[in-house]
Amino acid sequence: MSEKDVIIEIKGLSKWFGKFKVLDNINEVIHRTQVIVVCGPSGSGKSTFCKCLNGLEEFQEGDIVIDGISLKDPKTDLIKLRQRIGMVFQRFELYPHMTALQNITLAPLKVKKVSSKDAEKKAMALLERVGIPEQAGKYPGNLSGGQQQRVAIARALAMEPEIMLFDEPTSALDPEMIKEVLDVMIDLAKSGMTMVVVTHEMGFAREVADEIIFMDQGRIVERGTDKSFFSNPQSDRAKEFLNKILF
Amino acid sequence: MGAFDWKVIVDNFSFLMRGLGMTFQLAIIATIGGLVLGTLVGMARISSRFYIYYPATVFVNILRSIPLILVIFWFYFLVPIIAGRPLGDFLSATIAFVIFEASYFAEIIRAGIQSIPKGQMQAAYSTALNYRQMMQYVIIPQAFRNMIPSLLTQAIIIFQDTSLAYVIGLKEFLRSASIVDAREVRSLELYTFVGIVYFLICLTMSTVVKRWEAKKGKMR
């Protein structure tokens, strides 16, 4: 892939929570339309890593450059940058006082200032895409976990992002609901969206990941394609981890 | 003193009601003013900028550590010296109440905002909302729902607290009763009447709070 296709470049990223080093010299280059799966044991820093990419978490060393825009630069307009990066959270984080439709239209209405008619039309199309148009008028409290997460994906997509971040999108779901969310994500990956996905869903990784990153104690311990990572992990930690989650 | 003679209430009813009107006026202004100022102070209390956080914290901690009656006295005696002219009992009581109650409202607001999970803020930011939009559309509406019982309870307390303005001679409800008493010497009837009126008004308000909480419980 050419240099021009690089959309995210992470250079020597380090972050501390007080004295504890959560991210330790992370380097990574992500190209447009690539799907990167990040896995690793809990506490390995993968969630924090994901939240650094859209500036929800600050970092102390190194830099993240998104399509030529440096996150380290204090002049960078994070609000503007976030319009190009959607995010889906482990616990959905839908706004409980708004309907599914209102959750999706809020940012387009207030940030992009589109008309309410256009915002609603677009939101309905997105609900259609994630397979639950009939739930538009319901409040999150009346939706199943899988439905809530699909609304959350639609909410992120409503800003027409170029990059989508997923922070353990299926870990809070009941097993029977995982598939409906993964199916939406697989569709999205196949449509050419650039994605960074923190997950332990190895089936998903096998199907769509261009690269799998294995993190432990704030470092990238191993990286590979799905084939090399699953059939021939190099580090002991990765072997141990795979043994635990695959069986 | 013989049996209860309620005639004193009937004879002075309009005077007493004027006092009650004054009590309501003070309570309503103190609640609205305290809520507005308290919201600003409460938001300042959770600011990450020390020059916003620190003064707000000092304000809250000082006012919550001194009795209201002292604050009422201070504003009555001190502000005229600073302002160079007397403010009158109503204005000085109003300022004292707004500032004092703001410190209590600030803590309710702060706790309400902090009760909203951090993920809500992150979700709002991740869709490119700015701080004001995040607060206005996502955090405050949710926090406010959680806060309503506490806010109403505080309003009930304010309503009762207004009787302390008695000490600077403001003709609120209790003061009006004591003025009548000085003339007619019917303490038992007057203060029983005052007590019953306070009781009925506060009972009504707290019933509203309970209803609200029950309704909120059902929505979950």
A227 touches chain B (CB under 8 A): no
What rounded mean pLDDT belongs to chain A?
93
Name the residue facing B126 among A56, A91, A95 (closest C-beta). A56
Q: Do B137 and A89 touch (CB under 8 A)?
A: no
A95 touches chain B (CB under 8 A): yes
Name the residue facing A56 among B125, B133, B145 (closest C-beta). B125
User: What pLDDT was estimated at residue A2?
Assistant: 59
The sign of the CA dihedral B129, B133, B138, B143 is positive
User: What pLDDT was estimated at residue B220?
Assistant: 45
* pLDDT one-digit tens code per residue, A5-16: 999 999 999 999
Which residues make Cβ contacts (< 8 Å) with residue B54, sequence separation at least 6?
A: none
Q: Do B125 and A141 touch (CB under 8 A)?
A: no
B48 touches chain A (CB under 8 A): no
The sign of the CA dihedral A104, A180, A168, A49 is negative
Tell which wins on pLDDT, A185 or A229: A185
Chain A residue with Cα closest to B117:
A93
User: What pLDDT was estimated at residue B86?
Assistant: 80
Q: Do B128 and A156 touch (CB under 8 A)?
A: no
Q: What is the CATH number of domain B7-219?
A: 1.10.3720.10
Q: Which two tokens stand for residue A73?
A: 């630069």
- Domains of chain B: which residue ranges? 7-219
Q: Do A107 and B128 touch (CB under 8 A)?
A: yes
* pLDDT one-digit tens code per residue, B25-65: 999 999 999 999 999 999 999 988 999 999 999 999 999 99
A114 touches chain B (CB under 8 A): no
A35-39 β-sheet, strand order: A85-88, A163-167, A194-198, A35-39, A211-216, A219-224
Is 50 exceeded by the pLDDT of residue B202? yes
User: What pLDDT was estimated at residue A186?
Assistant: 96
Residue B121 near residue B138 (C-beta atoms within 8 A): yes
Q: Do A87 and B123 touch (CB under 8 A)?
A: yes
A219 touches chain B (CB under 8 A): no
What does pTM read for this prediction? 0.82
Lowest mean pLDDT of A134-138, A170-174, B211-215, name the range.
B211-215
Q: Do B145 and A97 touch (CB under 8 A)?
A: yes
User: What is the mean pLDDT of the segment spanning B126-149?
Assistant: 92
* pLDDT one-digit tens code per residue, A115-125: 999 999 999 99
User: What is the mean pLDDT of the segment spanning A199-223?
Assistant: 92
Chain B residue with Cα closest to A160:
B127
B25 touches chain A (CB under 8 A): no
Report which of A165, A168, A203, A161 is spatially closest to residue A186, judged by C-alpha positions: A203
* pLDDT one-digit tens code per residue, A24-74: 999 999 999 999 999 998 889 999 999 999 999 999 999 999 999 999 999
